[in-house]
Structures are given as structure tokens and as C-alpha cells.
Structure 1
Amino acid sequence: MKSNSSSLIKLFILQWLAVVCVAQNFDFFYFVQQWPGSYCDTKQSCCYPTTGKPAADFSIHGLWPNYKDGSYPSNCDPDSPFDQSKISDLSSSMRRNWPSLACPSSNGFTFWGHEWDKHGTCSESVLDQHDYFASALGLKTQLNLLQALKTAGIQPNGQFYSLNSIKGAIKAGTGYTPYIECNVDVSGNSQLYQIYMCVDNSGTNLIECPVFPRGRCGSSIEFPSF
């Protein structure tokens, strides 16, 4: 009986350690922002939030823990579900800066809950739920991507720009090299969709990306209006 109890205790300890290790041992974050015009200008289209059309600016998609080998942890702690009461003081800022464009229209909580459950729970050793969302909002304020592009003469006006000029403008404006993700509009054109920047595993400081996601854009991509 004593032996069985000891075995069960060891098993629980190993399971706890496995969860802790998964949650702690990531190397950096991808901080991902998306251009709403490109999200909406696809065959899937989009739905504006219940609060109305978002501003014509990049918005947050997520803050995602990653490993240097290109893989990433996910859904690390099912015992730490999203609790909207923990971010009540951030809600108005999140509605402005982290809107959901998925259909049907929503108030954003489902989107934010997904981001926390899938990605945020894997960084709990560094950021609790409130700090996770607050860090992302702070990074967006720090990184004015649209202004960096406009300074270089790159406007969201439906024109095509070289991929290198977009990367160069963001590097000049932020000091760090971005990864650019494209999607395809209803006419089949490659368009500027998401911009990835890398952040250290404290969720605070920008760094050069240890590794970029797979995928590539064309050499000339559209920057649609919104």
C-alpha cells in the first residue's frame, strides 16, 4: 500500500514537472501584427467587431512563445483558462488594438481567449494572464509599423511595393528585421498580411529573430487600403 502511494506521488510530481518544463522552456516570442485590409480582402472576407470598423492600422494577432528550432509549445495549461475579469482594465485598449475580424461579429473575448489558451499558457512562468496581454499592448505602442512604412513612402493604397523595401522600412523604423507573411486577395495577388517581430522570453525587449517562420512572399506585394 505504501509502495503504491509512493509511486502515485512520483507520477504526480513527474506530470507536474512536465507541465512546468513545457511552460518555461521557450526561447523567445513572435509578436505578430496583421493588416486588417489584407485580412478582409480575401475570398473568406471578414466581419467587423460589434463595436464597429477598427482603425486603419495594424492590429495585434498574438504574442507566441517559440523555440529556436522553429517549433513552438501550445495549450500548455488546461487548468488556467482565460478569465476576462483579469483583464477588465485592459478591455478598452484591447478592443482598439486587438480586434477580432473573424465572422460572425464578436466583442473579441473569444479571440483573446483562444490566444491565451493556446499561447499565453505556455509563458505563465514569465507572464500571468494580465501581464501577457499588457505586454502585447505595450509592444504595439512601441512598434508603430504603419508609421515606419509611411515614412518610407509605403502607403496602404492598393499599390504594389517590393518586399525588400517593406522589410527595409520596418528595419529602419524599429531597428530590427521583420518577417513578412503574405496572403492572397480575391484577384490572386500577393498582399502584405502579417508582420512578425521577435521579443526576448521576458516579453519585453525586441531582439533579432533567432529563426523565421517558413513561407515566402512574392518580390512585389500589394498593400491594400482598409
Structure 2
Amino acid sequence: MDLLDIWKYLLFLIGFLEEYPKDGAFNNNSEINSSKSFDVIIFTQSWPKTVCFDWQESSESHKCSLPAKSQWSIHGLWPTELHTVGPNYCNNKIKFDAKRLQNIREELKVKWIDVHDGEHPESFWKHEWIKHGTCSINLAHLNSEEKYFRTGLELFDKYAMNNVLEKVNILPGKEYPVEQFLDGVLDVLGVESVVVCRKNRKTQEQYIMEIRVCLDKDLNLVNCHGIHDFPTNCNRTKNVIYLDTPPKLF
């Protein structure tokens, strides 16, 4: 690393040394200058049955906590720069405090579930806040922990994939070409999304795992052009299975 690189790195570090206000919100003096570091916000929803399969496939000891109803779940709100991944972990001075979510905790447990560890979802929420939420604090509607998660809940109420897919007759327990998922979201929401699949290594089947829609900084829906994996990572020569129950592995 030459002197110029060292100087750039020092400037980078200085930009992250900010205080975490007592009320959990960030004023203009404490914001990181990230207004140009991301272009859109990806609102990602996961299909818990496939997340469970992915979790159980990695270890026989893994157990899942699935929602009582057959519904999609929030994965996260991800500030994203076009044609790349991230930014992530934008301010290491910003901490996670579960107490700040007390007013919405019960709703989060239903709509922002942790399939891996349902009894202790705070670890999942902490990960999402530290990795992604800290990158969005220059936006007034996302500049505190509670605002970040409350906004996720509001977006889920507006764009829940259960409702979106049902409107175009895409239902669990069946399989469809990936274009049908992409076209369905476009027909209902009016924007182009990203569909993410998970492959079963034994059977070579592919399952729908996530659907991602994109928002501008005012939280208006926009096309996901320039997003990683756009429009899909799924194999277009095979149908995508919309799991009704996680496959048995062992």
C-alpha cells in the first residue's frame, strides 16, 4: 500500500467515526455522507419453505421455524449501488438495540421472521440493521432503527408477494416458468423485479427463494435494472417449483 492509498484509507475511516445519538436517529451532523454511495433500495422478500430447505440441507441438525400461515417474509431493505453489491456495514459506531423495536416487535415476529432461529429473531434483525440499515441513515424515513424496520413492515403490507402472486394465479405447490413470476410481478406492480432460485443439488430441481423489488430514495417502485442477478439467477430451461412444504432430506 503506497502513501496515497494510506491517505485514502485514513479519510475513509474518519468518515465513519460518528456518534450514535441517544434517541436512535441521526441528525445532519452525524450522518455518513452516503447519498452518492447507493442508487436504489432493494426490498427483498423470502419464501420461508425454500429458506428452510436451504438451512436444513446445510446440516442435519438444523431445524426451521416456519410462520403459522403460508406467507412470504421480509428479508431486508438493502441500499444498493447499481452494477455492484452493497454498500454494506456502513458505520461501525451504530449499534443495534432490540429495545428500540419494542413497539413493533410482535409484528416483526410475524412478517420479518428468522426461519433459522425463530425463538430469537433479534439476531437476524441485528444483522440486517448493522449490514444494511446503517447504510440508509441519510434518508429521513430510514434514519433510525425503528424507522428502518417499520418501513419494511409498511412495504410488506403494500407489496406482500402472497398477494401479488395470487393475483396472477401463481400458487404454492405448483411449478412455473420463471418468466411467469417475472411477468406476474410486472403485471401487478408495474416494475421489473429480480427472481432468485435455490437449486436442489440432489434432484437438480430449482425452487423459488426470493423476489426483490427496487425503490428509489423516496420509496417509489422502480425497475431493478442494474441489480445483481437481474432479472433472475434461475435456469430458464427448467420450471421453478413454488414449494408447498420443504423437501425431506434425511
Structure 1 residue 117 and structure 2 residue 159: aligned? no
Q: Alpha-carbon deviation of 1:200?
A: 1.1
Q: How does 1:84-103 map to 2 (within 5 A)?
A: 84-102=98-116
Letter in 2 for 1:81: K
Deviation digits for residues 35-54 of structure 1 (CA, Å, limit 9, x no counterpart):
011112242376344xx744
Change (3 A) 1:83 1:152: same
The separation in 2 between residues aligned to 1:22 and 1:125, in whole angstroms, is 7
Change (3 A) 1:13 1:29: closer
Where does residue 133 of structure 1 map in the other structure? 149
Q: How many residues align?
A: 211
Q: Alpha-carbon deviation of 1:24?
A: 6.0
Where does residue 26 of structure 1 map in the other structure? 38
Q: Alpha-carbon deviation of 1:137?
A: 0.8
TM-score by length of 1: 0.84
Which of the numbers 171, 196, 221 marks the counterpart of 1:206?
221
The separation in 1 between residues aligned to 2:227 and 2:195, in whole angstroms, is 9
Unaligned runs of 5+ in 1: 1-10
Letter in 1 for 2:146: H
Change (3 A) 1:79 1:187: same
- Give the % identical residues: 24
Letter in 2 for 1:122: C
Q: Alpha-carbon deviation of 1:14?
A: 7.7
Q: Alpha-carbon deviation of 1:216?
A: 1.6
CA RMSD of aligned residues (A): 2.4
Q: Alpha-carbon deviation of 1:192?
A: 0.6
Unaligned runs of 5+ in 2: 1-9, 19-31, 246-250
The 3-state SS of whatever aligns with 1:21 is: coil
The separation in 2 between residues aligned to 1:222 and 1:13, in whole angstroms, is 45
Letter in 1 for 2:94: S
Higher deviation after alignment, 21-30 or 55-64: 21-30
Deviation digits for residues 81-100 of structure 1 (CA, Å, limit 9, x no counterpart):
11111111110110000000
Where does residue 80 of structure 1 map in the other structure? 94
Where does residue 72 of structure 2 map in the other structure? 58
The separation in 2 between residues aligned to 1:106 and 1:224, in whole angstroms, is 24
Q: Alpha-carbon deviation of 1:12?
A: 8.2
Higher relative contact order structure (alpha carbons within 8 Å, sequence separation ≥ 6): 1
The separation in 1 between residues aligned to 2:155 and 2:91, in whole angstroms, is 24
Q: Alpha-carbon deviation of 1:26?
A: 1.5
Q: Alpha-carbon deviation of 1:13?
A: 10
Change (3 A) 1:89 1:24: farther
Change (3 A) 1:85 1:23: farther
